[in-house]
Structure formats: structure tokens, C-alpha cells
Amino acid sequence: MPFLLVLAARNLTRNVKRTLITAAAVVAGVAIMILGWGLVDGLDENFLRAARTTYAGEVLLRPEGYPDDGVRFPLDDSRQVSDQLKAALDAEGAWTTRAAFPVRVVHGENADRAVTWAYEHDRETTVFSRAGWKLDGRWPEPGKNELVAGWAFGRLLGVKPGDEVIVEGRTRDGAHNALLFTVVGLARSDNAGLDNSGIWMEMSTAESLALLDGNRTHVALVPRDGGARAEALATALSREGWAAMSLAAECEDMIAINEIRRRALGMVVVMIMAIAATGIANTVIMAAFERVREIGTLIALGMPRAQVRALFLLEGAIMGLLAGVVGAVAGGALVSYWQANGFSVGEEVMSASGNMAVSQYVYTQFGWGSVFLSLCFGVGVALLASLWPAHNASQIIPADAVRAD
Amino acid sequence: MKLLLLALALAIPGIARAITVDDMLDHVDKNLTYDSRESSVRMTVVKSGTTKSYLMHSFGRGAEEMAMEYLEPARDKGTKMLKKNDELWMWLPSVEKTQKISGHMLRQGMMGSDMSYEDLMEQSTWRDAYTGTVVGEETLDGRKVWKVDLKAKDTTVSYPRRLIWVDQASYIPLKQELYALSGMLLKTWTMSDIRTVGDRQFAYKMVVEDKVQKNSRTEITFESVAFAVPLEEEVFSTRWLER
Amino acid sequence: MELILSMAVRNLGRNRRRTLLTALTVAIGVALLTIAMSFVGGVFWAALEKVSAMAGEVRVVTPRYAQRDQLMPLSENIPETAALEAAIRASDGVTAVYPHIAIGVTGAVGDDEIGERFGLLHGAPTEFYTERLDLDAHLQEGTMPSFGGEDWASVGARPKFPVYALVGRQFAEEVGAKAGTEVILTGQRQDGSPSGMRVLVAGVVDLGNSAQNRQLWVSLDAARWMTEIPAGATELMVFGEDWESAPELAASLRDEAALSGLDVRAWSERPPYDGLVGFAQVLHAIAGGVIVFITALGVLNTMFMSVLERTAEIGVMRAMGLRAWQSVVLFVVEAMAIATVGGAVGVLVGAPVSLYLGHQGIDFGAAVDKLPPTIPINTIVRPVLDWNVALMGVVLGYAMALVGGFLPAWRASQIQPVEAMRSRR
């Protein structure tokens, strides 16, 4: 067996050019396959990330009965976070609370309805780093009546940083309240819904506007060990009137949309591999025919036909493996790079998404699974492509072979 | 005893403050609330330069029931609304059918005006909801008024503070300033053209002005109003809508 | 030259297997390229074309309307459109202008509550529906109503004649209507007061996804009456020679005096579509590029191989007097012949498959329904055969054959004949 391996290896190196050209097809095919899957997985992650970094964290708690339609934000349903719950959250990782409530924002003659998102100044960035957000202006200073508007809402109302607006709303008990605010920034998050109708203010300001009295509508948690135990945590943290959901459960609907892309991509990838396969098959077949003489000699010298077949299969396998590895490395490297840095699909694609949370940056998702699968695919294709020529080669009659070509 | 005090108050300005604010508010409330009422009212809505005017005829029973028909403009003529407890029904002449309006459409303002149903329907009396302090006397539109600072008794009252100018003669709040919790002025509500209707005083003209959004106000002029009207039960039913 | 040609032909016949194999690679490559690109084209390009038809290649609205686009504010309408329509129609490059009104309505059948089911009502000239939206082609049941001809001017409180509507499937299902049902629509007039209208469902339309199917279409007059915009519209949709050059049309219309003060933009210049074109183009290019690359590699590979192994043969021919360049030409001609056959077969296979898939459609399933209505991707995607792509594939086959045949042949021809003969490669 080792003899065959050596022979196979030597054969491959004998015609480097041929080997390389064939291998190129496999490399490309495997790399593209990995990239493709990486992209599709990345798209799922895209939605998840947008939700995770703008309002949900890994585990999202809302008061029991609180509507999750994204349209109503009743302050009546807000609750306090008990000390026991706080301790439970502290034990798991970084967490923060938000209070959401509807308001009317008035700028001179214009008025539009918005949803206020009040955040805790010191906790907010431990959970929502805002790393991918773009801010024109700055974030509010605690203690001042300042707000940041979603960029699309700002455009609707016709305000820019520096403008003054009046925010009118109701306190938790139902009394009218209104405060004069300065718009200090326009923010573009990864969440089109927030950008279209949201304004951000510090919790202390919201407390004076809505008399929250410590009541909140959202609690977001990012556990120290990431999202692995999100489901279990969600169950454990649903208590004292709060209902918790893992990020995945929250984003179920959005992820379903990715099904389209998966299928589309699947089809494209299959086609690409088919093309690569023909290239490989072609080469192996050609190689077999061109070495007819050599094979004839081998058989005449006593090599069992089975071994001849094995030899060709082995050549195909080695080439497939090596090429596959190169392709996997290339594809994997690209996917990893784009996972860390993302490539931008353009800002306006986001606004096409209406109220969905879609990120501007597409991050691919590296998965050993897809690397392994792609590799196997590469080897498999090479092997399959070699089957017929290998068989054929083994049937050569030495006398004919020597006479041929 | 109170009547005597009242009489004295009317005669001698200095003793005005002898009336308890609660009593004053009682009177004000009495003028503003009713068991049954029939009225014809013209409503004009002004918003950023555009003006729309409507003429409505309505019946009301307490806070729970109200039946209203639009008479003008021609396009709206025949449109009817019926509020019964928490349900709202509508009849449009362009459709000729009674339609129940589902819960979530109720939040919108009436005909695009500044007044939501809630504003109109708010019926808890001022006396129950507010603690008042008389802060002075003034003359408004040639009438003598008490200026009273009303502070809400609890946090659930819609307008945490109202500054009202109560006409000493009629106990009608000629002017109100409605304040937010923060002290920001939200709306002003003026009443004028005061007449006697039955055993009460009633303002035939009201103007509600949004003080937060510029150039936004609603004017209401009563063309006729009657209280303690015997109302057929049928008025507050869908059959009335169809007539 | 005839000698070379005949030699080429004979050579091709001599090693049939090799020839066939090479041709097969080219064929498969071209076929797959055709199918794959039809696929990409079908999804994105068709969607974009539909977008421009739906949203108007160029749209004219008031600036305030444009600013509050997403709210579709009725009050920010263009009060009188007749003169504007005439001015636009007289402009260069304009083939059609349609006034259009869109309002959100709630619908109910019988005694059902209103405010539960919502849809988007459109009012526009019939030609817009038949020529741009192709509603008549998407009729699922019922018939295309003959809009127009009614005397709206003398309608008082309520029209005495039936007001026909085409209704999207999703809306019809939700309110419980089918062809022949009367639906009560409640919307608003431009001043915000409630406005109702009874419509008779003439037909139910299926546009491919449930968001698109929550729309209704009535005559322009009906919509004008309902919203109380008697001579105007919320938008003017302008169409030109072709949808891809909409930006140029928009630019030239902006210079029209009659349109000064109005917001004039091509569909690709307005959110949310402005990013889509670039996105689709990039996707198109990537998908195409990848497929082309792999195909090219396969063909090139094959050609290299087949020439390389015949180096000895080249040596023999040269020894027999064939000039260096002639031997190269020989191989190149062979390669082109293979490419021709391969390309033809590829198209013959790829085209019908694309057409078939286009006819059958590939079902993407319910997930598509969750996309916002501004992106009209159907539940069933139909690849669109682009003959240009097929042609490109064939040309590519030739190009690769050329390169694949030329290089090694030339190199082989440079070697001394004796060496070549001896190389056995």
C-alpha cells in the first residue's frame, strides 16, 4: 500500500502543470463553497447580531404580557427589577435595563409620534457597545435634557443636532408631561425600526419625564460565557412577573427569511461544484489515457489490475485532498477575515428592510462543519471523477497499450 | 349658609376668598357635567395653515354615552358616531351601513382635531381630582374672575396642574391653562359667550389651543344646547345610526 | 489553408474520446452558466424591473410628500394634475404619465368590525394596471373590470353605480371576499376625516407574496372621490423608454419649468430602492464571475491537457515540414471546432432547462412572505433566460478554447521536432 502511495504521489509530481491546473478547479470549488456557506450562516448571524446589539442582548426580559409586536409600548406594563432578580442577573454577566414608551415630539409646527428608548448611562455600553453604530453628534450627558434621534426619524421631523424639540408624553400613571430637549445627535444603528421612529435618552431624564419610579420595560443580558446557555437562562430568569426569551427565540421570524437565501445559495453552489467536477473528471480521464503505455507496462510487469485501479483512485484522492485543503485554507481565511471585519452591503439596503433589524455589514460565519464538509466534497468529487478512468485503466491489455498512441 | 356667603361675595369683592375653593369647584363642575344633554356645535380645526370646519348635532348621557351626527360640511353630512361605554360605532352616508370600530382605531383624534375622545370624555370632577388655591382676582373680558391654581391630588390625573380663571358671576372657567408635570404649558382652553341654560351657566364658545405645536388649535361654538333633556333610549343604539 | 482545416477535422475524428470529452466540458460549462445566470437574473433583475414598474420609473411628488414618504400623507398631494400631465407627456423620452393615489384602508365584509384588516388602496388609470402592473395577467379568479366611464362628477353622498375593485389575494382571504363580494372600505379624506366606499370585487389577483397581495386597485376617479382630491393625485408616475435609464429621464424632467418646486426622482434614487440596484449588480457580478471563473478553468484545463499530450504529434508534423505557426493554427482550429460544438450543445441544453425552470418556477416557500412589500420577490422564483448570457457562455467557450489551445501549441511548436517527438507527452 505505501508503495502505491509513493507511486501516486510521484505521478502527480511528474506533471506538475497538469496537476496544478486540475487542482485549481478543486481549490476554487471548495473555497467558494466555504465562502458561500459562510455567507449564508453569516446572514443569520447578521439578524441576530443586529438584534443582539440594539435591543435584545443574548437574553431579553420583558414584563409578562408585554406586547412584542414592536408597535405598542405600553408603560402600564412596566415593572421593577427586584433585588433578587438583579442578583441573578449579576451572577450571569453584564445586563442593563431600558424603558420604552410612546411620545409625541414637536418641532415648531411639526409633530410626529416616536418611541422613547431610555437607557442606563453606566450599564448600557457594557451590553450594547454601539460599536457598529454611526453617530452624527454625541450622546446625551446625564442630567441634561438631551436626546439622540434615530436618523430617519430626525429626517422626518426635520431636526438636526443642536435643534430644540419638545417631547410630550404620559407618565406611568397617566398624567401629561412635556419637557424641552436639545437634539444632540442623530444615530444610525443596525436596527432600521429604531432609526425610523426611536429617540434615545438617559434613564434619569426619562424618569423625570415619565415618572418611571424605577419601573422598566426591557432587561437585556449578555452572559459572560456568551449565548450558549441562552435558552436555559431564559427559562431560569422568567420570574417575578418578567418573561425572558433567548435571542434565537426572539429572532425566529427573521431567521425564517434566511431560508430563501439558503436555498438560493445551495443551488448556486451545487452548480459550481458540478462545473468543478467536470473539470476534474476531464483531467483525470485525460491523464489516464495519456498514460496508457505506462499502465500497460505496469500490468505486464505483474501489477494486479485492482492495484492499478487503486493507483488512479489514490491519485485522484490525493489531489482532491491537497487541493481541497488549499481551498479550505483560502476560503476559511477569507471567511474569518470577513467575520471579523465584515463587508459593507451599503446603507440603503438597510432601509429596504423597513422595521427589520438588518445590519449594513455582512459578516460571514466561520464553521468548521462547513469547512470539513467542503473538503469532503472536494475529495469526493475528485474520487468520483477518477472512478471511471481508473476502472478503464485497469482493463487495459498490455499488448494494446504498448502499441497505442 | 353657603348661599349667604356667596351673596356676600358677589357684593363685596374683599370677601370673595371666603368661599371655599371646594365649593367653587363644585359650582364649576356642576356647570360642566351633565346627566343628559342635547347640543348643536360647530367645530373648527386649525393646523399649520389649513382650516376645516364641522357642524355637529349630539346627544349625551353622562360620560358613557354619546351620539353625534355631522351636519356640515356637505361631504360629511350624515356621518354619525355612537359611543356606548367603550364601544364606538360609525355610520357613513357613503357606505350606508353601521360599522363597529375595533379597539385599536379608537386612539386617533376625532376628525383630525386636537381633541381625542379621551379629552372630551374626561368626566372626573375637578373637585375630586384637584386641590385648589385662589391666587388672586383679575378681570378677564370685562368680567371679574378668580385665578385659581389647581394641583392634582394624585399622579393619575391627566393634567397635573391647571391654572383656571373662574368667572365670579357664572362659575365658568373662562380660561384654563393646562400644564404638564414639568410645568410646561401644554394647552389653553378658553370659554366665552356665557348664557343661562336651564339652571346652569354655559359657555357657548370654547377654544382649545395647543401650546406645544405651533399654529394648532380647535374652536368650538355651540349653536344650541339643552340639558336634562329627556332622551329616548333609542338614541344610543345602532338603530339611531341607521335612521 | 485547406490542408490545415482538413487535418484539423481528421485529427478531431481520430481521437473521438478526447474530442468528445473536451466538447463535453465546454458544453456543461456553458449550460450551467446559462442556467445559473438565468437564475440570478430571474431573481434580481426581474424584481428590479418590477419595482420600477410599481413605483414609477420617475416619480413626481410634492417636497413635503417626499419628506414624509413612508407615511404617504394624503394632505401633501398635487391638487391639479392635468396641466402637469400634459407638460410631462410633451417632454422628451416620456412614454407615459399616470396620476396615482395610494391610501391605507381598512376593509370589512358584512357586519364585521372595521379596523381589523388593512390594505393599501390604489387609484390610477387603467393603463397603469394593465401595462405596468400586469394585473390582468395575475388574475386568479374573476375578471378585469372595465374601470372608467362612470359619471363621478354627479355623485352625491354615495355612488349609485357599482364601484369595481381588484383585490389582492391576501386581503381577500383576510376579509373573506371573493369575486362578486361587496367589501366596505374605510379610509380617510385628505383632511383626515373618515371616508367610506363600498366596492364590488371584480377579480382577485395573486402577485406572488402576501405583502403584495394586501393591495386593492380601483379607478382613479373612485380614489379621488374617496380621498376628496377631485383633480389631483399624491404622485405622478412617469415612464420612459427603458427602466434602467430612469435617472437620465428624471434629470431631464427636473429641467422642465412646469415641474419646478416638485420633487422629481427616479426609482433608483429613492429609498428604499436606491441601494438595491448596486446590491443586485454586485450580486449578479459575483455570481456570474464565480461561475465564469470555474467554467473557464475547466475548459482551459481540458484544452491544455489535450494539446500537451500531443506534443509528440506536433513534433512529427513539424519534422514533416509543417511550419511552426501552421501547427499552432491547426490546434487552434481544432479547439474552436470543439468550442463550437460544445457551446452549441451547452446552449441547447441550458436554454430549455432555464425556460422550463422559468415556467415551473422554483418554490422558495413561505419565508418570502415576510419580506416587506417594497421588495417584490415572488414565492415562486422564475429564472429568466437571458440570451445574452447564453451568448456570453458561447463566447467564453471560444475564448478559453483559444487560450487553452494556443499557448501550449505555440510552446510545443517552439521545441525542436526531434525533442518533441521524443517527449511522449
DSSP string across B200-240: EEEEEEEEEEESSSTTEEEEEEEEEEEES----GGGGSHHH
Q: Helix C16-40 to helix C2-14 angle, to the nearest 10 degrees?
A: 90
Could you tell me how many residues make up chain B?
243
Judged by CB atoms closer than 8 Å, whether chains meet at C158 and B95 is answered as: yes
What integer is the mean pLDDT of A364-393?
A: 73
My answer on whether A74 and A42 are in the same domain is: no
d(CA C194, CA A331): 59
Q: What is the pLDDT of residues C261-281, one digit of tens each?
A: 899 998 888 876 766 666 666
My answer on whether A207 and A70 are in the same domain is: yes
Judged by CB atoms closer than 8 Å, whether chains meet at B178 and A176 is answered as: yes
The CA–CA distances, whole Å, from B24 to B136, B165, B201, C12 equal 14, 11, 14, 114
Q: Is C102 inside a domain boundary?
A: yes
Judged by CB atoms closer than 8 Å, whether chains meet at A271 and C275 is answered as: no
Of A263, A290, A355, Cβ closest to residue C309: A290
Judged by CB atoms closer than 8 Å, whether chains meet at A268 and C287 is answered as: yes
User: Which residues in chain A touch residue C375, judged by CB atoms under 8 angstroms apart?
Assistant: 352
Q: What one-character DSSP code corresponds to residue C128? A: I
d(CA A128, CA A198): 16
- Decide which of A362 and C32 is more confident: C32
Instruction: Answer for the pair B43, B53: CB distance below 8 angstroms, yes or no.
Output: yes
* Distance of residue B80 Cα from the nearest chain C Cα, in angstroms: 11
Residues 6+ apart with CB under 8 A from B200: B30, B31, B227
What integer is the mean pLDDT of C107-129?
A: 89
Domains of chain B (ranges plus CATH)? 19-33+124-221 (2.50.20.10), 36-122+229-242 (2.50.20.10)
Task: Report the amino acid identity of residue B41.
Answer: V
Which three cell numbers, joined as nine digits, stand for A104? 409625541
d(CA C272, CA A356): 13
* Distance of residue C49 Cα from the nearest chain A Cα, in angstroms: 16
For residue A349, pLDDT over 50 is answered with: no
- Substitution target in B47, B94, B242 with the highest count of C β-carbons within 10 Å is B94
Per-residue pLDDT, B7 = 46
Of C115, C189, C228, Cβ closest to residue B104: C115
My answer on whether C257 and C280 are in the same domain is: no
CA angle B83, B89, B92 (to 5 degrees): 125
Instruction: Answer for the pair B54, B73: CB distance below 8 angstroms, yes or no.
Output: yes
* Distance of residue C190 Cα from the nearest chain B Cα, in angstroms: 10
Tell me the average pLDDT of chain C. Answer: 79
Above 0.90 for ipTM, yes or no?
no
Q: Residue A185: beta bridge partners?
A: A137, A148
Per-residue pLDDT, C154 = 82
Residues 6+ apart with CB under 8 A from C99: C78, C81, C85, C124, C125, C220, C232, C233, C235, C236, C237
Domain-terminating residue out of C217, C237, C261: C261
Within an 8 Å CB–CB cutoff, is residue A17 touching chain B?
no
Task: Report the amino acid identity of residue A278.
Answer: T
In this complex, which chains have at least 3 CB pairs below 8 Å with chain B?
A, C
User: B112: closest CA among B50, B188, B42, B41?
Assistant: B50
Q: Helix count (H) and strand count (E) of chain A? A: 15, 12
Judged by CB atoms closer than 8 Å, whether chains meet at B102 and C197 is answered as: no
Domain count across chain C: 2
Q: What is the pLDDT of residues C9-22, one digit of tens each?
A: 777 777 677 677 77
Domain count across chain A: 2
- In which domain, by residue range, is C21 found? 2-51+276-423
Mean pLDDT is highest, among A118-122, B95-99, C245-249, C313-317, for: A118-122
Q: What is the pLDDT of residues A38-77, one digit of tens each?
A: 776 776 777 788 888 888 899 999 999 888 766 678 888 8
Judged by CB atoms closer than 8 Å, whether chains meet at A279 and C298 is answered as: yes
Exposed e or buried b per residue across C78-117, where buried means at least 16 C-beta atoms within 10 angstroms of its C-beta = beebeebbebbeebeebebbbbbbbbebbbbbeebbbbbb
My answer on whether A221 and A271 are in the same domain is: no
Instruction: Answer for the pair A311, A8: CB distance below 8 angstroms, yes or no.
Output: yes
Within an 8 Å CB–CB cutoff, is residue A11 touching chain C?
no
d(CA B36, CA B39): 10
Domain-terminating residue out of C261, C292, C311: C261
- Percentage above 70 pLDDT, chain C: 74
My answer on whether A77 and A139 are in the same domain is: yes
My answer on whether C306 and C236 are in the same domain is: no
User: C152: closest CA among C163, C141, C137, C138?
Assistant: C163
- Decide which of C138 and C318 is more confident: C138
At residue A132, φ and ψ (nearest 5 deg) are: -90, 5
For residue C325, pLDDT over 70 is answered with: yes
Give this prediction's pTM.
Answer: 0.69
* Distance of residue B132 Cα from the nearest chain A Cα, in angstroms: 18
Within an 8 Å CB–CB cutoff, is residue A112 touching chain B?
no
Judged by CB atoms closer than 8 Å, whether chains meet at B92 and C195 is answered as: yes
* Distance of residue A106 Cα from the nearest chain B Cα, in angstroms: 6
Q: What one-character DSSP code corresponds to residue A57? A: B
Q: Is A184 inside a domain boundary?
A: yes
User: Which residues in chain C touch residue B90, judged by CB atoms under 8 angstroms apart?
Assistant: 114, 186, 194
Task: Report the amino acid identity of residue B147.
Answer: K
Judged by CB atoms closer than 8 Å, whether chains meet at B94 and C116 is answered as: no
My answer on whether C96 and C235 are in the same domain is: yes
User: Which residues in chain C touch residue B92, judged by CB atoms under 8 angstroms apart?
Assistant: 186, 194-196
Within an 8 Å CB–CB cutoff, is residue B239 touching chain C?
no
Task: Report the amino acid identity of residue C314.
Answer: I
User: C389: closest CA among C43, C30, C25?
Assistant: C30
The span from the first CA to the last CA of chain A, in angstroms, equals 30
Secondary structure of residue C41 in the 3-state scheme: helix
* Distance of residue B212 Cα from the nearest chain C Cα, in angstroms: 21
My answer on whether C75 and C9 are in the same domain is: no
- Substitution target in A188, A253, A286 with the highest count of C β-carbons within 10 Å is A286
**C29: nearest CA partner in chain A:** A275
* Distance of residue A345 Cα from the nearest chain C Cα, in angstroms: 7
CA angle C177, C179, C185 (to 5 degrees): 50
At residue C115, φ and ψ (nearest 5 deg) are: 100, 5
Within an 8 Å CB–CB cutoff, is residue A353 touching chain C?
yes
Judged by CB atoms closer than 8 Å, whether chains meet at B94 and C108 is answered as: no
Q: Is C390 inside a domain boundary?
A: yes
Judged by CB atoms closer than 8 Å, whether chains meet at C193 and B52 is answered as: yes
d(CA B239, CA C163): 27
Of C35, C301, C372, Cβ closest to residue A21: C301
Q: What one-character DSSP code corresponds to residue C112? A: P
Judged by CB atoms closer than 8 Å, whether chains meet at C304 and A289 is answered as: no
Instruction: Answer for the pair A370, A37: CB distance below 8 angstroms, yes or no.
Output: yes
pLDDT band, residue A345 (cuts 50/70/90): low
* Distance of residue C217 Cα from the nearest chain A Cα, in angstroms: 23
Of A108, A110, A171, Cβ closest to residue B181: A171
Q: Is C270 inside a domain boundary?
A: no
d(CA C336, CA C402): 7
Burial class of residue A162 (count of CB atoms within 10 Å of its CB; 0-12, 13-18, 19+): exposed
My answer on whether A107 and A205 are in the same domain is: yes
- In which domain, by residue range, is A179 found? 59-225
My answer on whether C254 and C224 are in the same domain is: yes
- Decide which of C45 and B81 is more confident: B81
Judged by CB atoms closer than 8 Å, whether chains meet at B101 and C113 is answered as: yes
Per-residue pLDDT, A166 = 96
Within an 8 Å CB–CB cutoff, is residue A180 touching chain B?
yes
My answer on whether A262 and A390 are in the same domain is: yes
My answer on whether A47 and A69 are in the same domain is: no
Judged by CB atoms closer than 8 Å, whether chains meet at C184 and B77 is answered as: no
Q: What one-character DSSP code corresponds to residue C115? A: S
Burial class of residue C156 (count of CB atoms within 10 Å of its CB; 0-12, 13-18, 19+): exposed
Judged by CB atoms closer than 8 Å, whether chains meet at C298 and A349 is answered as: no
Domain-terminating residue out of A187, A208, A225: A225
Q: Residue C340: beta bridge partners?
A: none
The size of the A-B interface in CB pairs under 8 A is 61
My answer on whether C16 and C92 are in the same domain is: no
My answer on whether A279 and A381 are in the same domain is: yes
Q: What is the pLDDT of residues C394-408, one digit of tens each?
A: 777 777 677 766 776
**A32: nearest CA partner in chain C:** C290
Instruction: Answer for the pair C35, C383: CB distance below 8 angstroms, yes or no.
Output: yes
Judged by CB atoms closer than 8 Å, whether chains meet at C228 and B104 is answered as: no
pLDDT band, residue C81 (cuts 50/70/90): very high
Task: Report the amino acid identity of residue A91.
Answer: A
For residue C76, pLDDT over 80 is answered with: yes
User: C21: closest CA among A293, A302, A388?
Assistant: A388
d(CA C243, CA C46): 11
Q: Is C365 inside a domain boundary?
A: yes
The size of the B-C interface in CB pairs under 8 A is 65
Of C116, C191, C196, Cβ closest to residue B94: C196
* Distance of residue C33 Cα from the nearest chain A Cα, in angstroms: 9
My answer on whether A169 and A269 are in the same domain is: no
DSSP β-ladder status, A164-170 and A176-188: antiparallel
Q: Is C7 inside a domain boundary?
A: yes
d(CA B7, CA A286): 121
The alpha helices in C96-151, defined as continuous H runs, are: 126-127
The alpha helices in C145-230, defined as continuous H runs, are: 169-175, 220-227
The phi-psi region of residue A189 (left if phi > 0; otherwise alpha if psi is between -120 and 50; otherwise beta) is: beta
Per-residue pLDDT, C364 = 55
Tell me the average pLDDT of chain B. Answer: 81
User: Which residues in chain B touch residue A168, judged by CB atoms under 8 angstroms apart?
Assistant: 180, 186, 212
Q: Break chain C down into helix, strand, coil percent, rounded to 5.
A: 55, 20, 25
Within an 8 Å CB–CB cutoff, is residue B99 touching chain C?
yes
Residues 6+ apart with CB under 8 A from A133: A187, A188, A189, A190
Residues of chain B with pLDDT under 70: 1-19, 103-124
My answer on whether C129 and C170 are in the same domain is: yes
Task: Report the amino acid identity of residue B159.
Answer: Y
**B77: nearest CA partner in chain C:** C157
* Distance of residue B234 Cα from the nearest chain C Cα, in angstroms: 20
For residue A355, pLDDT over 50 is answered with: no
My answer on whether A213 and A360 are in the same domain is: no
Could you tell me how many residues make up chain C?
425
Of C113, C189, C197, Cβ closest to residue B95: C197
Per-residue pLDDT, C215 = 92
Per-residue pLDDT, C268 = 82
- Percentage above 90 pLDDT, chain C: 26
Within an 8 Å CB–CB cutoff, is residue B73 touching chain C?
no
Q: Is A129 inside a domain boundary?
A: yes
Q: Is C271 inside a domain boundary?
A: no
Per-residue pLDDT, C167 = 95
Q: Is C113 inside a domain boundary?
A: yes
The alpha helices in C309-371, defined as continuous H runs, are: 311-319, 324-360
What integer is the mean pLDDT of A211-225?
A: 93
Give residue for cell 420633487: C263
For residue C421, pLDDT over 60 is answered with: yes
My answer on whether C28 and C85 are in the same domain is: no
User: Which residues in chain A touch residue C29, judged by CB atoms under 8 angstroms apart?
Assistant: 275, 278
My answer on whether A36 and A64 are in the same domain is: no
- Decide which of A321 and A401 is more confident: A321
Q: How far is CA A384 from the centre of its chain?
A: 33
**B75: nearest CA partner in chain C:** C157
d(CA B97, CA C305): 82
Q: Is C267 inside a domain boundary?
A: no
My answer on whether A98 and A179 are in the same domain is: yes
Instruction: Answer for the pair C195, C363: CB distance below 8 angstroms, yes or no.
Output: no
